[in-house]
Structure 1
Amino acid sequence: MKRHLFFTLFFFISFISIAQESEIQDLFEIENEIAIDIYGFHSNMVQENVFGLTVDFKMYLRENWATGLSFSLASRPLNTNYGLRIAEPGFEYGEFSWLNQFDIYKNEKVRLGFLLSNGLGVAHLTDRNRNDEFWNEDGLLSTHQRVRTNILYLIQPGFEANFRVYDNDEFPDVYLSTEARYRKAFGNTDFGRPKDFNNFYVGFGVSLIGFW
């Protein structure tokens, strides 16, 4: 059922984008508006509740279409060691993706749009009781010891809503924002299974829109 919903949403977004692009290009001559979204998010991965941070950078190339990059980070202890000798198991997650947004409704105070992103997710099974140390240009750094690593390809359709709370003529407008996505993961894993990373993502935060 989830797979059918996923592909339905994907083709729906693609259809709308193709159908509207020429019309939008003829009707609007706009500046390439820039938006930054900052979210705290919740999702379920490897059968654990995970909280993290997402930052999106987007540029509007058309009146209703924005494209850009999305970054997410999360970390938490785990309740399982996957049968390995790990004194204090932990989970670290990072995500980098190309993001596209198509706004279906927009006025001076509200923006509603569909999202579609694809990219890479990197998940580490760590031992929080042990540290690895290494040197870089900033000096000696220490991280939790990484025992296993998963690199996954991700596709995520979703929906975003922005509500303006501060209007400024000279600086970016401030919006309260929320977004929901469904994350579908593909690839091989060194711990868990790809379907352990398939789940919904919900984020709440602020958006700064109108840098340019």
Structure 2
Amino acid sequence: MTAGSNARGRFVTFEGIDGSGKSTQARLLAEALRDQGRDVVQTREPGGSPGAEEIRELLLRGDPDRWSAETEILLFTAARRDHLERTIEPALAAGRVVICDRFADSTRVYQGVTRGDLRDLVDRLHALMIRREPDLTILIDMDPRTGLNRALGRHDGEDRFEGFGLEMQERLREGFLALAAEFPDRFRVIDGNRPVDSIARDVRNAVTEIL
């Protein structure tokens, strides 16, 4: 399917705790949709544009206490605004399917719930600077201990948030599930404690509903 044949683009995001497998599932979905002839942009947050990738380095590397929650919110919002302007909005305007590994829901949970109860600040900045929600959000729900062990096993240097430990991962999972309950029309919760192929099948079924 060419970009011009789409009435409008579709915006799909993946959320979940660290090590939940959402990055793998985002890649598999992008591959499956391309095999169907769809024009797909696969991206990630923080990052997804040159400026946002530079901010990613600041956010994901270094000591866990490098930034306060308030500073993190500002950095994430700045990265997201650049990502939106340079990658997401142009792709959607061209009728493409945008698949993004994390978006605003991660900030709502990581900084808004688990790092100081700043959800109201996150939402106000989002309404002021971002003003976009996904058409569909896939939440890969994963056992926190399993996810943390996976994430720490990557050894990619981007482990600042994993450094907060298991208790934070447990709170993150609770936060994501609460968010899914808050926005049931947008979220689809998928059990991530299963084989990759089984998860991918459920993801494709969920995405088919909006395509």
TM-score range, shorter chain: under 0.3
Question: Higher relative contact order by CA 8 Å / sep ≥ 6: 1 or 2?
Answer: 2
Q: Which has the larger share of helix?
A: 2
TM-score by length of structure 1 reads 0.21
TM-score by length of structure 2 reads 0.22
Q: Which has the larger share of strand?
A: 1
Larger Rg belongs to? 1
